[in-house]
Amino acid sequence: MPVALLLAGMFAFAGCSTPTQPAAMVVAPQAVLPGSSGTVAVTVSGGDETSATGTSQISDEDFRQALEQSIRDSRVFAGIEERSDARYQLDAHIGMLSQPMMGFSMTVSIEVNYRITDLREGTVVFEENIDTEHTTSAGAAFAAVTRIRMATEGAARENIAQFLEAVSAAGLD
């Protein structure tokens, strides 16, 4: 009986992985950054869907939503539009997402390549690989899968923040 209770309790508290949430990856609005007067279309690749038995992953759609909202809030571009109407095309490719398999404090790192093409000229005007990490402490949540999700969201949020600063500094028209 104790064994059964132990196992039941462990599985009840362990829980299943849930996908990262776009809202948790949005960069908190700060001072408006200097930006481009052009609009941008955004595509994201390299993400994965979350399975219940795996760890929290970042889907292309969720990262795109977080990236677009962060761009709107920071105003580094004049707005988000479809490619046919936009001045720039931003392609973000999630190249690597490194998550721990176990532990108390969880550190997740993510590498994203951001490439911006000027659609008028057809030339790449910005390209940068941005590698960030975020640690969630053991006290942040009881379940490990939750701590990994929070660390994943934090790493993605920091990555987007660094991209916004980099693209603002690039001084696009």
Partner 1 sequence: MKRPLLAFACLSLALFGAGCASTQSNLAPGTDLSELQTFYVQKLPADNRGVERLISDRLNTMGKESTYGDGENPPEPVDAKVTYQDRWTWDITMYMIQLDVQIRDGESNRVLASAQSRRPSMQRRSPEGMVEEVLDEIFSQ
- Binder to partner 1 among 30, 98, 105, 137 (CB under 8 A)? 98
Q: Does 158 bind partner 1 (CB under 8 A)?
A: no
Q: Hey, which residues does 126 pair with through a beta bridge?
A: 116
Least separation in angstroms between residue 145's CB and partner 1 is 13
Q: Does 3 bind partner 1 (CB under 8 A)?
A: yes
Q: Is 40 exposed, middle or buried (0-12, 13-18, 19+ CB in 10 A)?
A: buried
Q: Does 6 bind partner 1 (CB under 8 A)?
A: yes
Task: Output the six-digit token pair for 6.
Answer: 């132990």
Task: Output the six-digit token pair for 109.
Answer: 């790192």
Least separation in angstroms between residue 29's CB and partner 1 is 29
- CA atoms of 87 and 76, how far apart (whole Å): 13
Q: Does 15 bind partner 1 (CB under 8 A)?
A: no
Q: Does 61 bind partner 1 (CB under 8 A)?
A: no
SS3 state of residue 90: strand
Residue carrying the six token digits 């759609």: 61
Task: Output the six-digit token pair for 157.
Answer: 């949020």
Stretch that binds partner 1, among 32-40, 81-89, 93-101, 164-172 (CB under 8 A): 93-101
Q: Which residues are near partner 1 by CB under 8 A?
A: 2-3, 6-7, 10-11, 45-46, 48, 53-54, 91, 93-96, 98, 101-102, 111, 113, 127, 129
